[in-house]
Amino acid sequence: MGAPIPAVNFGVTADFSLGVEEELLLVDPVTYALDHSAPEVLERISTPPGGGEAHPEAYAGLIELSSPVCTDATDAAESLAVLRGCLRDAGATAIGAGLHPDGAFGDVVHYPSERYRLIAYEMRALQARTPTCALHVHVGMPDAEAAIRAFNGLRGILPLLQALAANSPFWHGRDSGLASARAQLFRSLPRSEIPQAFESFDHYAERVGALVAAGDLPDYTFLWWDIRAHPMLGTVEVRAMDSQSSLRHVAGLAALVQALAWRATEEPWPREERDVLMESSFRAARDGLDATLWDNGALRPVPEVAGAAIRLAAPYARELGSDGALEELERLLVEGNGAIRQRAAFRRGGMPAVLAELAHDTAAAAPAVVSAS
């Protein structure tokens, strides 16, 4: 099996640069049923040089779009808008959501690659239920120890990010009662949790090495934590969020992660214990924007926790040029996240309205995603 830390590339890109990856579900353009055509779409798609890439993922019913390395969240979201357009030009229809709201249990085709064949073999029926889609945000780190400081600080806002991004209330055509059913489905996989805090990069590497050995894993990318240091890319990667149909939401979430990652390298935050964070994570997945989360020694409503986080992030976002994108979270708190919007669509027109709105919102990205403040 491979080494747990095959490369350490911190400092290769500009400090606190940004990369965003979104997993989008492929659907039939008329019925919006899952379409397991990723191998064919990836053969057809053409992306602009230096403008990001399209990649396979575990399921043939989804494609991952990844932005190039960007300086700010607006640029990252706008690059994803272009990539979504490339996906449409390749003849694909996509929706951004944590789960397909109406996908049948077991309507799964695994992507034909060695990595995903191995995952499917190891996960068995856990990987054969329904595709799950997440939003991942990478922030470039100047060095390994800064990466661990950012990792430790960002752990504390993972439940908040999960609540803001919750976008999978329906599973198999029924309301799950959760704001993010994806999050709880994903929790059934091994190594899919909020990890402990670490004292140093050496401590991180030691524990990752132990897990890789204990699980007989090919490398550390088989640790599916909600956050991880990614030495091969030189980043800290936040992985706790549902995929989004709205690129405005993508921009706001990315801006918050980017700004608070920088802040955490400079001002260490109190470390919350893993079991407390996991409890808040469940509450965030269950209740979304209506959740109360453990914060500073008390249960506080998500809008209050979000407001405090946005205020902390604001000066860093302004310095990074992501302040216009950060303002999108204020809009999200007022207008609702994906879970609220899906349920509102269902009340208006049932599941057909949910699917149509997701497809429309995913296709409606304009080049100017957010305005500068």
pTM over 0.85: yes
The answer to the question of residue 186 being in a domain is yes
Over residues 286-307, the pLDDT tens digits come to 999 999 999 999 999 999 999 9
Output b/e per residue, 147-156; b: 16+ Cβ within 10 A: bbbbbbbbbb
The answer to the question of residue 370 being in a domain is no
**Could you tell me if 97 and 342 are in contact, meaning their C-beta atoms sit under 8 angstroms apart?**
yes
Number of domains in the chain: 1
The answer to the question of residue 285 being in a domain is yes
CB atoms within 10 A of CB 329: 23
* Helix 247-266 vs helix 323-335: crossing angle, to nearest 10: 120
CB atoms within 10 A of CB 364: 12
The answer to the question of residue 157 being in a domain is yes
Helix (H) or strand (E) run with residue 27 in it:
strand 18-27
Question: Taking the chain, what is the end-to-end CA distance rounded to the nearest angstrom?
Answer: 49
Structure confidence at residue 91 (pLDDT): 97
Over residues 50-103, the pLDDT tens digits come to 999 999 999 999 999 999 999 999 999 999 999 999 999 999 999 999 999 999
Over residues 306-334, the pLDDT tens digits come to 999 999 999 999 999 999 999 999 999 99
Does position 38 have pLDDT exceeding 60, yes or no? Answer: yes
Output b/e per residue, 117-133; b: 16+ Cβ within 10 A: eebbeebeeebebbbbb
Model confidence at 5, in pLDDT bands (50, 70, 90)? Answer: confident
The answer to the question of residue 214 being in a domain is yes
Q: Which residues contact 144 (CB under 8 A, 6 or more apart)?
A: 8, 10, 201, 229, 231
Over residues 209-239, the pLDDT tens digits come to 999 999 999 999 999 999 999 999 999 999 9
| CATH number, domain with residue 229 | 3.30.590.20
Model confidence at 367, in pLDDT bands (50, 70, 90)? Answer: very low
The answer to the question of residue 93 being in a domain is yes
The answer to the question of residue 328 being in a domain is yes
Which residue type sits at 252?
G
- Residue 144 structural domain: 18-361
The answer to the question of residue 6 being in a domain is no
